[in-house]
A and B are shown apart, each in its own frame.
Chain A
């Protein structure tokens, strides 16, 4: 079945550092890919998405490119802020699973001043 694997955390960075969170997936067909962010005590917020190969999703300085050849959707940000401290989830949907979100285990990010 479909699955998502993302790098284990926690990731600790200094403010203004470059961020990469790796995400790879296994799916048959043509999944859509998502990054969600969860701040402490809150639900999930959709950060960005990509629905086909080579699409780049972007939002609030975060970017991720749908790479079918490497089955990856790595999240990047050029300069993180303390306010970016949160847990980040990579996820996919596909017709195989009736478009239910299939999540990775999440990566905790802590940005220090």
Chain B
């Protein structure tokens, strides 16, 4: 069974721009979560989607948003990029809540 895939793997953007990251979950998994990893803050939860609905949200500003499609694929969007948004963005999928989450390789975003 294929794992979680994320595209693109690397991205360089300029301050003020916006970016969209994509995640395809493991087949059959309907829950998709997003995490941000930075050296300073570590791994932080962004949001979780299930059946196209956001069920849970972390403590991030409204510039961070996401959505999920009917095939469970998910995208996250960051608008008005700031230097501090430079991070590894990780997507994880699971069957549902209370099940273990499996991570993709991440998208490395650099904001200049």
Smallest beta-carbon distance A45→chain B, Å: 7
| Apart from A46-B103, A101-B33, 18 more pairs, CB < 8 Å | A36-B103, A42-B105, A42-B106, A43-B6, A44-B92, A46-B100, A49-B100, A89-B43, A91-B43, A97-B45, A98-B56, A99-B56, A99-B97, A101-B45, A102-B45, A103-B43, A105-B42, A106-B43
Q: How many A-B residue pairs have CB under 8 A?
A: 52
Number of interface residues of A (CB under 8 A): 22
Give Cα A97–Cα B101 distance, bound, in whole angstroms.
15
CB-CB under 8 A for A46 and B102, given A98-B97, A100-B58, A101-B33: yes
User: Judging by beta carbons under 8 Å apart, are A100 and B33 in contact?
Assistant: yes
Interface flags for A32-56 (1: CB within 8 Å of B; 0: not) read: 1010100000111110010000000
Could you say which of A89, A93, A104 has the most chain B C-beta atoms within 10 Å of its C-beta? A93
The chain A residue sitting closest to B58, CB to CB, is A100
- Could you say which of A32, A104, A105 contacts B98, with CB atoms under 8 Å apart? A32
Give Cα A93–Cα B31 distance, bound, in whole angstroms.
15
List A contacts of B102 (CB < 8 A).
46
Give Cα A105–Cα B103 distance, bound, in whole angstroms.
17
